[in-house]
A and B are shown apart, each in its own frame.
Chain A
């Protein structure tokens, strides 16, 4: 047992943090959000140049063979910066889904993702599929997809879409390229500053991922890793939300003194620290457990981390706004944007109820 990061991992964290400080402050983020498609491809290329997309791919796929611990480090930094890009799709989801493909498919696509030429996304959820376990309706027949997918992150902008669909042999994973025929993407902005799309396939040509693990296995891995990454992202958001709030209450004066000198507010902030520290522990737990070979143990561990994250994220998010008072309500101040991201992360990859159900049905975590 050992919770310390290696020197390489520390360097990764430092270099990404420097990059984000330089290229992704709050004002620049606002600018990127205003661009067509809601992002600046140079930033994506910058991420690739830092080497972060190579981390999760194995060495024979051309990657660095990193683990989910690296993804956690990246996630925390991305959360701190409120980065909008589909980094988790590239780092957590694509490498897992590609396990369903042949060695050739894996190597070919990994190269593009690692280099930043391919920005991937995943069309998985369908309208009404609030409970993630429900049947997939989208179908593949004779190399063509039909069906509707919902909240596909950067669905209109991504170069490559992984699609979950029912094929002749049951559940399968399929690849669709940007601008494919007979595909309609209705793009929109999300509450937390990203872009997403409702995508309708109507005989869209696709390529099946075959030759690797089963689609179910690959999907299970992708969901686990995406969830783990999102917990790390939430941790990053919580850290900054607390820091910003503490800075604010140190400076804001009422009744002739900084409001941070009032004990009622100090204790609210201290309570948020306690919750955030529990999330840090769970982010570490999730990042290690999301690669566990025992799928049941993996999923239950991740569910427990998610439940903790949801509770803490409400606590931290809401207290941050409360302690900022009126300015916390404004679009202009960063704090509201952290609150919004935290709220959307609560919903992503199964909400609290979904994960409580999963835990309760299993009778809790294994002893």
Chain B
């Protein structure tokens, strides 16, 4: 057991830090520091910059363009990227569909899709949830019927909560291909071009006023046979693998660390009832408690990565990822609460940016405090809610 980083690893950290310092556009950095989510352009620009450097797909095998990093290097990269306030590489591509293709798709399909997924020439979105199939994902109804004549799949149905469908070139879909037997056994995994006739995207506004989620409707959408991943009716296995990876990506430790740093910096300046907020014991308690929990989470994440590196079976999700998902969501949410609490009444104005009639009133960091708090309630709902994760722990770890 060795938690200290070696000189080589520290040198790698400096290399990553310097690269980000030299290449991350100031505009992106400033935008994110204010608590905004990156725009599509910002994510694409940064993803492509990382891709050119060979760093956009850290966990992919070298054969498919991964950098061949150790788990420690992956961890250092992610932490540095998040701490610098840079956008993450596009997660649906890098953390979800890419690994599924690598693990389960034919060579032909890999060759066709992986390079464009890695470079973000194809932006993928995730078409799993439906109005009637949320936590009970396997009850999904969107159907793909085999068209013998055209040798293709015909897709009908509705997906919902689809993040960034408005940006997407492609969607990966879970579809029903059989109604026989257990509902998990009639599901297949398809890749669908968003420009196909019959695909329609409808925006959904979230309570913070943002537009990141959508409903996606499919009416007689024709999908070529070769866009099916692996075998027909085996989609559930691939989906479970994907969800395990999604959970591992949930905690965003580096980002929370950066938020804590920012919180401290601001609290030292902010005068509340005659003294800096930082000097108020109640604030200090909350800060330290959050920091303690985050440190434990950081160690838990590293521990799971380390056991993966040491050869744990990677085709099945490690139930410890459910622990990480629950704590990760909690920490992300806790950070947003602390910002609202720090902002106090300055969290009230619903303003928008630097200029115009509805320009910002309070400090730069307070504008997004409340919207982010509202928005991040999502993190304990998506990717398998807290209750779903506890169900997984009860069954897979405790055998209940």
Contacts and interface: CB of A to CB of B under 8 A. Distances in A.
A308 B292 contact: yes
B307 interface: yes
Given A273-B323, A278-B300, A4 B295 contact: no
Contact of B5 (A1, A281, A356): A1
Most buried by B among A246, A274, A307: A274
Interface in B311-361: 320, 323, 326-327
A3 B303 contact: yes
B346 to A, nearest CB: 24
Name B's interface SS: helix
A266 B303 contact: no
A1 B326 contact: no
A363 interface: yes
Contact of A360 (B285, B295, B296, B394): B285
A282 B300 CA distance: 8
Interface in A251-265: 260-261, 263
Nearest to B70: A1
A261 B320 CA distance: 22
Given A269-B398, A359-B288, A3 B307 contact: yes
Given A278-B297, A307-B289, A308-B296, A246 B302 contact: no
Contacts of B264: 363-364
Nearest to A266: B394
A1 B302 contact: yes
Contacts of B5: 1
B288 A281 contact: no
Given A5-B1, A280-B303, A266 B390 contact: yes
A249 B400 CA distance: 9
A69 B288 contact: no
Name A's interface SS: helix
Interface in A322-367: 356, 359-360, 363-365, 367
Nearest to B393: A270
A36 B153 CA distance: 80
A360 B303 CA distance: 27
Contacts of B400: 246, 249-250, 260-261, 266, 269
A274 B293 CA distance: 12
Contact of A281 (B75, B303, B394): B303
Interface residues on A, range: 35 or more
Interface residues of B, number: 48
Interface in B205-227: none
Contact of B306 (A2, A266, A288, A360): A2
A311 to B, nearest CB: 9
A4 B306 CA distance: 7
B318 to A, nearest CB: 11
Top 4 A-B residue pairs of the complex, sorted by shortest distance between their CB atoms: A281-B299, A270-B390, A266-B394, A270-B393
Given A4-B310, A269-B394, A282-B296, 9 more contacts: A274-B393, A277-B320, A278-B296, A279-B296, A281-B296, A288-B1, A304-B296, A356-B285, A365-B295
28 contacts: A1-B2, A1-B4, A1-B71, A1-B75, A1-B302, A3-B1, A3-B3, A3-B302, A4-B310, A242-B398, A266-B400, A267-B390, A267-B391, A269-B400, A273-B397, A274-B326, A274-B327, A278-B323, A281-B297, A281-B298, A282-B295, A285-B299, A287-B1, A304-B292, A307-B289, A364-B264, A364-B287, A365-B295
